[in-house]
């Protein structure tokens, strides 16, 4: 855990304190009423002395400081002060603490096939509180033993990938919003490969041998080097029990556990255009031993941009972006022209359609015959409110929101067109036209993806990018934020800027191939095309005339397809060079000439 002292007490802290006081009072009243209920399934004691407390891990990169908990909650600071408060600090260079996000989490809901022709809706959630517990599900279809929930291996891991002195771990101090944070970095050797943490294979030797010039922790999709990365594993058998999920305000419980294991990565880059952005990746595994259908996955946000009660929300369905912005262009914390916080789904669940007209785009490659579901709906609810419009405390209400309905299950209509829609406030945020949020308040919103099916043992990946930007007014802040998220999307799809690789077409070749670079001779940029008939670990390396390695263009897993990469030789002298492609089944070398 990380602790620091606040140097300034402002209206924001008072508001946050009152917000938590109201939430506490509501929860206390709910608990009292619930204690008289005759339904024992509506009560669950969350305190368990034999279970490790959730760990809080701060991430600071570029202009952002935020925090992730090992129970699936993030952007929520529940550790640095006696009361919980907003956890997404931006910008870190400000002399006082300014925040743009109060809390965020995920909802996973599905209809579980519990018997022949019998299905049961189940849902797991994290937001202000959580159904998730740090740990995995060792055996499909079985509740984890208590030893899992008391295993320090699931404490979460923070690594730095750009400072050679931190390969073996260490403590560093950083400042954010006028306060000091201590960051305890894990050594690369502790990166939990056995728990599912991905790594970059560098030295060509099977297995994980970490080192600055050897293997290192990775994102799982390419060989990029983020500045910082967090990995954690959690599952929804709360405290390693099969008890019904806890029900409280903002935590939609009441169902039995799904049996879902989630491996989460959070990372950011200290590169131009990415300083106001970070990524959150989820590997979702059905370990219930039962099939799921009508599955939805939602990212839920309470993004208070400064003062909590003057926000509005919206979405751009064509860009897969949802956002929160200041309603009246004047915030008590940020002042005039406040920033906007946005979240974009850049990789979503995949369905096998078998149709050649469908193509799912992944980082570095495409997959024909598959359809990727990104933002299939955007919804919102308000702090407290009615069961149809407010924070859900029951899994059925939450699942209704995930399907694009109101909390009571009614279809939502666009008031301008009169047509049913699953995208609330889908007008043009930059121009403030169309259907937009016409009232300010303490708004929460969610990005939905679904429905899709998951057989027992199936895995899906979902990746989001967060960005915060400030423009000349509140609407221009939306425009600037969207541009940053679009850049982050392309950055991710182009292998996170590491190789400039792009898929060519949708066909998969029958054989391996390496084409002659073009142009040749060249100055200073040239393109190299190659084809691989199946998923392979591909290495493309540049050598000089003496056989010395000049540049590794790619060292990543790629799906079957045709690709093009570029080499910018601006820093290399004129001469003859060789480029070589190597996989486990194929190797070929060609010559090229650089003339300056």
440 in the same domain as 333: yes
Query: 391: which residues sit within 8 A by CB, 6+ positions away?
Result: 249, 250, 381, 382, 383, 384, 385, 444
- Report pLDDT digits (tens) over 396-450: 999 999 999 999 999 999 999 999 999 999 999 999 999 999 999 999 999 999 9
Domain stops at, among 444, 474, 497: 497
The pLDDT assigned to 499 comes to: 47
Average pLDDT of the residues in 358-368: 80
Longest dimension (CA), the chain: 83
Residues 122, 113: Cα–Cα separation, whole Å: 10
549 in the same domain as 518: yes
- Burial class from Cβ neighbours inside 10 Å (0-12, 13-18, 19+) for residue 541 reads middle
Strands (E), 28-169: 56-61, 64-69, 76-77, 85-86, 88-89, 99-101, 103-115, 118-125, 133-134, 157-160
Residue 96 lies in a domain: yes
Residues 390, 23: Cα–Cα separation, whole Å: 13
Residues 504, 222: Cα–Cα separation, whole Å: 18
Residue 6 lies in a domain: no
- Output the six-digit token pair for 119: 């299905």
279 in the same domain as 161: yes
Inform me whether the pLDDT recorded for 576 exceeds 70: yes
Inform me whether the pLDDT recorded for 33 exceeds 80: no
Number of Cβ within 10 Å of residue 391's Cβ equals: 24
Residue 393 lies in a domain: yes
358 in the same domain as 242: yes
- Report pLDDT digits (tens) over 253-291: 999 999 999 999 999 999 888 999 999 999 999 999 999
Average pLDDT of the residues in 373-399: 94
- Burial class from Cβ neighbours inside 10 Å (0-12, 13-18, 19+) for residue 117 reads exposed
Please state the φ and ψ torsions of residue 125, each to the nearest 5 degrees.
-145, 155
Number of Cβ within 10 Å of residue 357's Cβ equals: 9
259 in the same domain as 232: yes
Inform me whether the pLDDT recorded for 506 exceeds 90: no
pTM over 0.85: no
Three-state DSSP state, 478: helix
Residues 529, 545: Cα–Cα separation, whole Å: 21
Query: 108: which residues sit within 8 A by CB, 6+ positions away?
Result: 123, 124, 125, 236, 258, 260, 262, 284, 295, 296, 297, 298
DSSP 580: E
Residues 577, 517: Cα–Cα separation, whole Å: 11
Residue 4 lies in a domain: no
Inform me whether the pLDDT recorded for 37 exceeds 60: no
Query: 36: which residues sit within 8 A by CB, 6+ positions away?
Result: none
Given a contact cutoff of 8 angstroms between Cβ atoms, the answer to whether 446 and 379 are in contact is: yes
The number of distinct structural domains making up the chain is 2
Query: 116: which residues sit within 8 A by CB, 6+ positions away?
Result: none
What rounded mean pLDDT belongs to the chain?
A: 89
45 in the same domain as 153: yes
Structural domain containing residue 427: 11-497
Domain stops at, among 497, 530, 562: 497
Given a contact cutoff of 8 angstroms between Cβ atoms, the answer to whether 471 and 451 are in contact is: no
Residue 455 lies in a domain: yes
- Report pLDDT digits (tens) over 289-311: 999 999 999 999 999 999 999 99
Residue 85 lies in a domain: yes
Domain stops at, among 456, 477, 497: 497
């Amino acid at each position: 855990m990380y602790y620091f002292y606040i140097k300034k007490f402002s209206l924001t802290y008072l508001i946050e304190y009152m917000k938590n006081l109201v939430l506490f009072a509501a929860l206390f009243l709910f608990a009292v009423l619930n204690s008289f209920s005759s339904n024992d399934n509506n009560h669950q004691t969350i305190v368990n002395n034999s279970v490790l407390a959730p760990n809080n891990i701060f991430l600071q990169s570029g202009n952002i400081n935020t925090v992730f908990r090992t129970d699936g909650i993030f952007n929520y600071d529940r550790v640095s002060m006696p009361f919980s408060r907003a956890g997404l600090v931006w910008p870190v260079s400000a002399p006082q603490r300014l925040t743009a996000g109060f809390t965020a989490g995920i909802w996973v809901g599905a209809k579980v096939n519990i018997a022949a022709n019998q299905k049961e809706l189940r849902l797991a959630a994290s937001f202000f509180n959580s159904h998730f517990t740090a740990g995995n599900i060792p055996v499909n279809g079985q509740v984890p033993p208590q030893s899992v929930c008391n295993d320090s291996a699931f404490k979460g891991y923070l690594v730095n990938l750009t400072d050679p002195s931190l390969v073996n771990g260490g403590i560093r101090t950083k400042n954010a919003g006028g306060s000091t944070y201590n960051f305890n970095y894990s050594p690369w050797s502790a990166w939990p490969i056995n728990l599912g943490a991905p790594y970059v294979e560098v030295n060509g030797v099977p297995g994980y041998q970490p080192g600055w010039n050897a293997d290192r922790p990775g994102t799982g999709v390419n060989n990029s080097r983020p500045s910082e990365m967090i990995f954690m594993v959690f599952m929804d058998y709360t405290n390693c029990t099969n008890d019904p999920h806890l029900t409280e305000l903002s935590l939609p419980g009441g169902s039995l556990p799904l049996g879902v294991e989630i491996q989460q990565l959070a990372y950011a880059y200290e590169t131009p255009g990415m300083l106001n952005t970070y990524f959150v990746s989820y590997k979702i595994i059905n370990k219930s031993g039962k099939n799921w259908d009508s599955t939805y996955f939602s990212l839920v946000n309470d993004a208070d941009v400064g003062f909590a009660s003057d926000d509005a929300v919206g979405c751009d369905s064509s860009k897969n972006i949802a956002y929160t912005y200041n309603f009246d262009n004047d915030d008590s914390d940020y002042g005039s022209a406040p920033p906007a916080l946005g979240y974009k789904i850049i990789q979503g669940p995949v369905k096998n359609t078998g149709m050649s007209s469908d193509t799912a785009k992944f980082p570095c490659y495409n997959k024909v015959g598959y359809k990727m579901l990104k933002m299939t709906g955007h919804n919102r609810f308000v702090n407290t409110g009615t069961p149809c419009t407010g924070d859900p405390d029951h899994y059925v209400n939450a699942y209704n929101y995930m399907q694009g309905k109101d909390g009571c299950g009614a279809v939502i209509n666009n008031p301008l067109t009169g047509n049913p829609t699953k995208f609330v406030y889908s007008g043009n945020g930059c121009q403030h036209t169309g259907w937009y949020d016409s009232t300010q308040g303490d708004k929460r919103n969610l990005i939905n993806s679904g429905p899709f099916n998951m057989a027992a043992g199936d895995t899906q990946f979902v990746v989001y990018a967060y960005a915060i930007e400030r423009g000349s007014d509140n609407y221009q802040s939306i425009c600037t934020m969207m541009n940053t998220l679009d850049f982050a999307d392309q950055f991710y799809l182009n292998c996170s800027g590491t190789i400039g690789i792009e898929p060519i077409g949708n066909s998969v070749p029958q054989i391996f191939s390496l084409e002659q670079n073009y142009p040749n001779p060249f100055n200073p940029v040239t393109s190299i095309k190659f084809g691989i008939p199946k998923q392979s670990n591909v290495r493309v390396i540049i050598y000089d005339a003496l056989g010395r390695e000049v540049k590794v263009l790619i060292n990543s897993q790629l799906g079957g397809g045709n690709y093009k990469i570029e080499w910018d030789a601006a820093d290399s002298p004129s001469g003859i060079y060789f480029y070589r492609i190597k996989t486990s089944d194929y190797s070929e070398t060609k010559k090229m000439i650089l003339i300056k």
